[in-house]
Structure 1
Amino acid sequence: MAIICATNLSADAAHAATVAATLACRLGEPLVLLGVADEAPDAEAPDALAVAEAGLAAECARLRPLVGTVQARMHRRGGSVDTLLGEEDCRSARLVVVAAQGWRTSTWKKTSLAERLARHGCAPVLVVRRDTALLDWARGRRRLLVMVGVDPRSSTSSAALGFLRELRRVGGCDVLATFVCSPAEERERLGIHSPVHVELLAPQVRDIEALDPVVERVLHREVRECVGDLEGEGRVEVVLEPGYGRPADHLLHVAHAHAVDLTVVGMHLRGGVQRLWHGSVSEGVLRHAERSVACIPPGPREPRRIPPPRSVLVPVDFTPASGQAIAQACTLVGPGGRVHLLHVHQLRGRERGPRDIHGVLPEPAGERDAVLKRLWDWVPRDAVALAVHWSVEGVSGNDVALAICQATEREGVDLVCVGTSERHEPVPDVLEGAVARELVARCRRPVMVVPTA
């Protein structure tokens, strides 16, 4: 593995090379210095290449006391990023370091060298600006304030968090785990009901960018679970940034408001038409950030080990099939686990009325207390059940399977355990096999189907 630094021998590139050499020393890795001539060759100066090579040799001599091993290679002007970073470089690169500024490009190029290196996606790219934060941190003089973009439902977060863990092994880092979220989309995902017409809301909650307290609590928990345990020195804070439009703009707003030293973002390696259509959060942050940025490509995806469930949601329709599922859930979570019992009252005919809400509603007022009492009556009383934490909930909605899926997101359970019966029993809101099939197809959590003869 090696730290690779691209340089055109400008003052900005020299600063980036110093950061790269200091990091290479801390990580015990060699430094590879790639000389990039970004100016047009001068016909009257045929020895320009020799001058550039001499300057690169002098830069190596300056950096060698910092890192020990420095390799130099001159890259001729006009080549692509593929020729700058060959296959061998991509296999051996632990990190690519490049200055954010100080590069001269022709008018037809729409992206900087830093953006092209990040888009190449063969290794993490650290784009350095000329402030002293990174250098002082790499020398062990201070902690670094790092903002990492986190999306609990995106594969890019794992790569960014993996890079952050490496940073904290090098030195202390205070972390702002930032999730840019759409309040309306999150309310819909979690089934938090709210009127469609904003003017009907109370004045204190008319701000469509405000997060409902229930939504905020769930998102905070999900981001914490996504970040996990971060070894090393420094605090970890969750920042929820509600807003609409381009996520990159909201990440830049948080970075500016908190004066972060480094922004870490994961990348989707889209190309061509996909990039034009979807845009790129990482590219937007990289292009407009005030301080240094690290863009992290996705790594090889390893099979994720799923631990035994400690929390289970059981849909209850008050049939023997539900009792079988409750007993199974109690056995699965074991002592100290949690089982959430959910009854969904399916709205029918005249109950539906005008659909002026998003999400599910509570049980009808006249039935709520009776339903909750009935759910508590279904909690087993044996010794195993007494060691389990129980909770109950009743909701009303048009789509039973969707209401169950939304409840799994609100509760953050590990598993759904649903009982089914092939017999058509004369019980309202019975969970027939069709609901179980829909849950398997639509739910983001694992689903266990418990058949009853």
Structure 2
Amino acid sequence: MAIVCASPVGVRESREVEVAAALAARLGEPLLLVGVMDGEPLSDTTRIDALRALEAQAARLELPPGQVACRVRSDMEVVLAEDECRQSRWIVAAAEGWRTSTWRRASLPERLARRGCGPVLVVRRADALVDWVRGRRRLLVLVGVDPLSPTADAAVGFLRELRRVGPCDVLATYVFSPLEERERLGIHTPVHVDVLEPGARDMEALDPAVETVLLREVREQVGDLEGEGRVEVVLEPGYGRPADHLLHVALTRGADLVVVGMRSRGPVKRLWHGSISAGVLRHSEQAVVCVPDVLNEPRHALPPRSVLVPVDFSDSCMRAISQARSLVGPGGRVHLLHVHRKRLGDTAFQDHYGVLPEPAREREEMLRRLWGLVPRDESARAQQWSVEGVSGEDVALAICQATEREGVDLVCVGTPGGPVKGPDTLPGAVTKELVARCRRPVMVVPAA
């Protein structure tokens, strides 16, 4: 797998070749220098002159004979079709100097990132990159994360490659909307601001309960990174374009490199949805690595260590609790959740938004009943148990929100064997909706 370095033809020497050569020497990979005219006519004289200039650069790199190859191409599409590019380990490109056609909005580095099969490094501030590759300094890397995005998984996975090159301090940065996160997690908030505590009247502020969940989710997404360097989670509340907020954090924290994932989309979808990675590429003052989502390695499925069981106190939910116990084993956690379906007379919640606790008049009794379902045998004492009662009109949504708050690995729900007997009994329709809407795996325990 080669290190491919793309440089514009006819532009004075820039530092991307030096960065690519340092990477090739560090990783022990061959280096391919490609001069690209990017759609402009390429005469024989221009081609020969450009090839001689590349070969002169290669001679000054002090790499072993045969490790460097040089080519000149008239269009990037030709480069992308070649095996060396499609199977490259890194693609290194100059940030400036490209003769982009007026009808093309995207620069060549952007098109490389969209179409390239490997991570694309767009070089700015080359001194920091060269010193890092040669072991002279530690690199500060900002990586855009999102617990709900597979493209962010690809960016996080690339951090392991970076740490194989040299030590890196990581800023795992998540840009999010506080209002949307409160809705996703079911963190209840009074609608009328005067009901809130004075310190919490900013509806755009980061709720401490939301912050706790987001920190856990980001740490789980990043996982344990091998190699040298610290990892810091940065939660950035923001509205509008996420790329602007990522670049703001990169600038204020003095990052040397920004790593973002890129989704493979057609031109129409890119126009409609926009692209965080394209915004970062165009406006960043730092070097940028775009990692295509095709490089996202699927995570290996692990046995569940935490299970949520929706409870309606029927025989079916008791079977689900028994099944959950057997799945998590000793040291695992089982969370029992009861959803109080809001009824016509429930007027106490009209000034609140989101999933709410059980009504005050029923809360203590409901928690006592939930704790009463926890087995008392020795194996149960080796497990962790927690209970919760919430209220809501949409039972399936309330369960989904609880899975996000608790961060469980699995939902284990029992299906009723007969007609619905009580106001809070879970009908079969709720189970079907839960399977369709929940991000976590759902195990359905059939009736006896």
TM-score relative to the length of structure 2: 0.94
Could you say what secondary structure the match of 2:415 adopts? Answer: strand
SS in 2 for 1:351: coil
Q: 2:293 aligns to what SS in structure 1?
A: coil
- Per-residue CA distance 1:387-431 (angstroms, 9 max, x = gap): 111111111111111111110110001111112222235433112
Tell me what 2:178 maps to: 183
Residue number in structure 2 paired with 1:14:
14
CA distance in structure 1 between the aligned counterparts of 2:315 and 2:410, rounded to whole angstroms: 20
Mapped to 2, the partners of 1:238 and 1:109 lie a distance apart of 37
Map 1:324-335 onto structure 2 (within 5 A). 324-335=319-330
1:381 pairs with one of 372, 376, 389: 376
Contact 2:411/2:443, CA 8 A, preserved across alignment: yes
Give the corresponding residue for 2:441. 446
Residues 271/426 of structure 1: CA separation in 2 closer, same or farther (3 Å cut): closer
What code does the residue aligned with 2:3 have? I
Q: Name the counterpart of 1:90.
A: 85
Aligned to 1:36: 36
State whether residues 9 and 55 of structure 1, in contact with CA within 8 Å, keep that contact through their aligned partners in structure 2.
Answer: no
SS of residue paired to 2:106: coil
Give the drift of 1:198: 4.5
Cα distance in 2, alignment partners of residues 139 and 205 from structure 1: 49
Moved more, 285-294 or 200-209: 200-209
Q: Within the alignment, does 1:244 sit opposite 2:239 as a pair?
A: yes
Give the alignment of 1:141-156 within 5 angstroms: 141-156=136-151
Matching residue of 2:73: 75
Question: Is the 1:316–1:342 Cα contact (8 Å) retained in structure 2?
Answer: yes
Aligned positions of 1:132-143 closer than 5 A: 132-143=127-138
> Does 119-128 or 14-23 show the bigger shift?
119-128
RMSD (Å), alpha carbons: 2.3
Q: Say whether residues 1:51 and 2:37 are aligned partners.
A: no
Equivalents in 2 of 1:161, 1:195: separation in Å? 36
Q: After the TM superposition, which of the residue ranges 424-433 and 176-185 deviates more from structure 2?
A: 424-433
User: Aligned partners of 1:264 and 1:90: how far apart in 2?
Assistant: 20
Tell me if structure 2 keeps the 8 A contact 1:313–1:417. Answer: yes
User: Gapped runs of 5+ residues in structure 1?
Assistant: none
2:27 is matched with which residue?
Answer: 27
Amino acid at match of 1:97: V
* Distance 1:120-1:199 versus aligned 2 partners, 3 A rule: farther
- Secondary structure, counterpart of 1:73 in structure 2: strand
SS across alignment from 1:132:
helix
Structure 2 Cα separation of the partners of residues 290 and 230 of structure 1: 26
Query: Cα offset for 1:196?
Result: 3.4
User: For the structure 1 residues 130 and 328, does the alpha-carbon distance in structure 2 shift closer, same or farther, using more than 3 Å as the test?
Assistant: closer
Give the aligned partner of residue 105 of structure 2.
110
Q: Higher mean Cα deviation, 12-21 or 183-192?
A: 12-21
Does 2:254 match 1:259?
Answer: yes
| Conserved 8 A contact 2:412-2:443 | yes
Q: Deviations over 1:94-116 (max 9, x none)?
A: 11101112334454443322122
Cα contact 1:337–1:389 (8 A) shared by 2: yes
Letter in 1 for 2:368: K
Aligned partners of 2:430, 2:307: CA distance in 1, in Å?
17
Output the CA distance in 1 between the equivalents of 2:351 and 2:334: 32
1:433 maps to 2:428: yes
Question: 1:394 corresponds to which residue?
Answer: 389
Report the alpha carbon displacement of residue 442 of structure 1 after superposing the two structures with TM: 1.4
Q: Which residue of 2 aligns with 1:63?
A: 61
Check the 8 A contact 1:173/1:234 in 2, yes or no: yes
The 8 Å contact of residues 152 and 226 in structure 1, kept in 2 or not, is answered as yes
> Could you tell me how far 1:302 is from its partner in structure 2?
5.9
Q: Which residue of 1 aligns with 2:219?
A: 224
Q: Shift in Å at residue 176 of structure 1?
A: 0.7
Q: 1:86 and 1:34, CA in 2 relative to 1: closer, same or farther beyond 3 A?
A: same
Q: Which amino acid aligns with 1:50?
A: I
SS in structure 2 opposite 1:421?
coil
Where in structure 2 are the equivalents of 1:259-408 lying within 5 Å?
Answer: 259-299=254-294, 304-352=299-347, 355-408=350-403
User: Structure 2 CA distance, aligned partners of 1:301 and 1:249?
Assistant: 24
- What SS class does the counterpart of residue 321 from structure 1 fall into? helix
SS in 1 for 2:70: strand
Q: Distance in 1 between matches of 2:5 and 2:99?
A: 17
Q: Is the 8 A contact 2:163 2:228 kept in 1?
A: yes
User: Aligned pair in 2 of structure 1 residues 70, 154: CA closer, same or farther (>3 Å)?
Assistant: same
Cα distance in 1 between the residues matched to 2:96 and 2:418: 71
Secondary structure, in 3 states, of the residue corresponding to 2:303?
Answer: coil
Partner amino acid for 1:117? L
- TM-aligned CA deviation for residue 439 of structure 1: 1.4
Structure 2 portions without partners, runs of 5+: none
The superposition leaves residues 221-266 of structure 1 with CA deviations (integer Å, 9 ceiling, x where unpaired) of 1111111111000001111111111111111111111110000000
Read off the aligned partner of 1:27 and give its amino acid letter: L
> In 2, distance between residues paired with 1:353 and 1:172?
55
Contact kept? 2:330, 2:379, Cα under 8 Å: yes
Q: Which amino acid aligns with 1:135?
A: V
Equivalent pair of 2:7/2:36 in contact (CA under 8 Å): yes
Q: 1:107 to 1:415 in 2, by over 3 A?
A: closer
Identical residues among aligned pairs (%): 65
- The 10-residue stretch of structure 1 (299-308 or 48-57) with the greater mean CA deviation from structure 2: 299-308
Q: 1:100 to 1:10 in 2, by over 3 A?
A: farther
Deviation, structure 1 residue 84: 2.7
**8 A Cα contact 2:19 2:126, kept in partner:** no
